[in-house]
Amino acid sequence: MPLTLKPHKPRTRRPGRQGKVLQRLIENDLIRKVSYDEYRDKVQQVYGGPKGAMLSVCSLMSLHIPLGERIFRARRFDLRGAKSILDVGSGAGQIAAHLLKYADADASITLSDLSRQMLRRARNRLKSPRPRFVACDLSSLPFEDGSFDCITCGYVLEHLPNPEPGLAEMSRVLQRGGRMFLLTTEDNFSGAWTSRLWYCRTYNRGELKRLCEQLGLHWKQELWFTRMHRALHAGGICVEIEKR
């Protein structure tokens, strides 16, 4: 079992001017060029097509599935005690598989995604009658205020031009004192390539943290897949958040 890494204040790392220019050249900027409706249609096409069909395989090859499972298995993000869990942007059910394995047996689990095709793939992959599947947009979740005491959201927020509506919606449906597992693409070199492949944007860690705090979403701890990921600032932004 891996050692639990203590929360820490990361060093600010600013890429050089040439590195920043290269990131901008690589990063996909479709999200800034077209209307949100046009962009959303494009995202549904991407995830409903061949790329979406390969999503779980890509997650396995990139080690995101096994490394992500470590976080839940080691209770670095502890699912015990959560009774109503929402997985936002479930995709092929990568995080949902961990929820089924490590959440309490009596916890209700709801999986949501913009793409109905991805929800069908998640249902087929998970082969469990336990989750509820809901097709919806992150910026307009069809749930009542305070419906959940735990939310997981992996690599979804970057498909919004502005993160505030999505974060505000997750905060709205999360109970006070509830916790969120947020994983999103960072504005670095590897994040730029992720953006290129999946037509998403990237986020600056400090700016995203400040926005979360303004919305009452406190960054309880930053999480890293491994010590090497922490040293290289790789793997994206991964945090445990508590609603104040």
Query: How do residues 174-187 score in pLDDT, each as one tens digit?
Result: 999 999 999 999 99
Asked, for residue 225, whether it belongs to a domain, the answer is yes
Residue 15 has pLDDT above 90, yes or no: no
Determine, yes or no, domain membership for 230. Answer: yes
94-102 helix and 64-73 helix, angle to the nearest 10 degrees: 30
Residue 149 half-sphere exposure toward CB, CA atoms < 13 A: 12
Q: For residue 36, is it within any domain?
A: yes
pLDDT confidence of residue 63: 75
- pLDDT band at 65; cut points 50, 70, 90: confident
Our count of domains for the chain comes to 1
Sort 163 into a burial class: Cβ within 10 Å, 0-12 / 13-18 / 19+: buried
pTM for the full predicted model: 0.87
Beta strand extents in the chain (DSSP E only): 84-88, 108-113, 132-135, 148-154, 174-184, 217-222, 237-243
pLDDT at 56: 73
Q: What CATH number is attached to the domain comprising 192?
A: 3.40.50.150
Give the burial string for 63-75 (b: 16+ CB within 10 Å, else e): ebbebbbbbbeee
Whole-angstrom CA distances from 157 to 61, 74, 99, 161, 170 are 22, 25, 19, 9, 11
Between the two ends of the chain, the Cα-to-Cα distance in Å is: 31
Cβ proximity of 205 and 48 under 8 Å: no
**Confidence label for 19 from pLDDT (cuts 50, 70 and 90):** low
Q: How many helices (H) and strands (E) are present in the chain, helices listed first?
A: 12, 7
For the segment 5-21, the average pLDDT, to the nearest whole number, is: 50
Q: Higher model confidence: residue 97 or residue 235?
A: 97
Cβ(147)–Cβ(173) below 8 Å: yes
Task: Quote the pLDDT of residue 12.
Answer: 42
Establish if 35 belongs to a structural domain. yes
- Closest by Cα among 120, 115, 125 to 95: 125
Average pLDDT over every residue of 60-80: 90
How far does Cα 235 stand from its chain's mean position? 12
Q: What's the rounded Cα separation, in Å, for the pair 112 and 12?
A: 34
- Is residue 1 included in any domain, yes or no? no
The answer to whether residue 61 scores a pLDDT higher than 90 is no
Check: CB of residue 121 under 8 Å from CB of residue 98: no
Mean pLDDT confidence for 19-39: 84
- Structural domain including 133 reads 17-243
- Between residues 55 and 87, the one the model is more confident about: 87
183 in a domain, yes or no?
Answer: yes
What confidence category does residue 17 fall into, taking pLDDT thresholds of 50, 70 and 90? low
In contact, 199 and 182? CB cutoff 8 Å: no
In the predicted structure, residue 207 carries a pLDDT above the cut 50: yes
Tens digit of each residue's pLDDT (9 = 90 or more) over 106-163: 999 999 999 999 999 999 999 999 999 999 999 999 999 999 999 999 999 999 999 9
d(CA 33, CA 35): 7
Let me know if residue 3 belongs to a domain.
no
Give the list of residues 6+ apart from residue 195 with CB closer than 8 angstroms, or none.
26, 27, 28, 158, 185, 201, 202
Q: Which of 81-95, 187-201, 207-221 has the lowest mean pLDDT?
A: 187-201
Structure tokens given for 183: 């994983």
Residue 53: inside a domain, yes or no? yes
Q: What's the pLDDT at 134? A: 98
Q: Residues of the chain with pLDDT > 90: what percent?
A: 70
